[in-house]
Amino acid sequence: MPVVMDADRIGRTLTRIAHEIVERNKGVEDLALVGVRTRGVHIARRLARSLREITGQDIPTGALDITLYRDDLMRQAVGPQPLVRRTEIPFSIDSRKILLVDDVLYTGRTTRAALDALIDFGRPKAIQLIVLVDRGHRELPIKADYVGKNLPTAPNESVQVRLQESDGQDEVVVQQEGQ
């Protein structure tokens, strides 16, 4: 089970992304972070901390649950209904630049759902996509603006992002399916 990113690497990567955010947006004016539940939220909170260290400013941070927007909802023949959790966006997204944060970018379907969900909250000035890992195999025309690591994978592999907040440690591992 190869570890492709360890805790140090994840930490450095997120710091680098935070700097890229500041550079690309020429500051953090009008920015807000929205993490896709569950691990996207943890990454968004860490980026908010980094951005505060770099710029001294607090970036509003929210959590988005995309379950009710999934395109496979009500379609799977068997298996339980996905659990719905709370969406918490305690600020207006109108006229803000939204930094949408997820752990892994794969087919792009989660991002599609997240974009639809966000648009229901208002009309942001722009949405930029941040992912810790881009593993390829897109099924929709979606591209990330900030990528922690490009990780070429086979479709039968699975990429697991583990974070301190939810899993007790920071690492990214690649597993063969059924392993």
Give the residues lining the site for other proteins (CB under 8 A). Answer: 65, 67-69, 73-88, 116-117, 120-122
CA angle 100, 139, 79 (to 5 degrees): 85
Helix 39-55 to helix 7-25 angle (10° resolution) is 60
Asked if 93 and 127 touch (Cβ cutoff 8 Å), the reply is: no
Q: Nearest distance from residue 70's CB to other proteins, in Å?
A: 8
Nearest residue (CB) to other proteins, 119 versus 126: 119
Q: Nearest distance from residue 73's CB to other proteins, in Å?
A: 6
DSSP assignments along 128-148, one per residue:
EEEEEEE----SSS---SEEE
Nearest residue (CB) to other proteins, 116 versus 171: 116
Nearest residue (CB) to other proteins, 69 versus 106: 69
Q: Nearest distance from residue 98's CB to other proteins, in Å?
A: 16
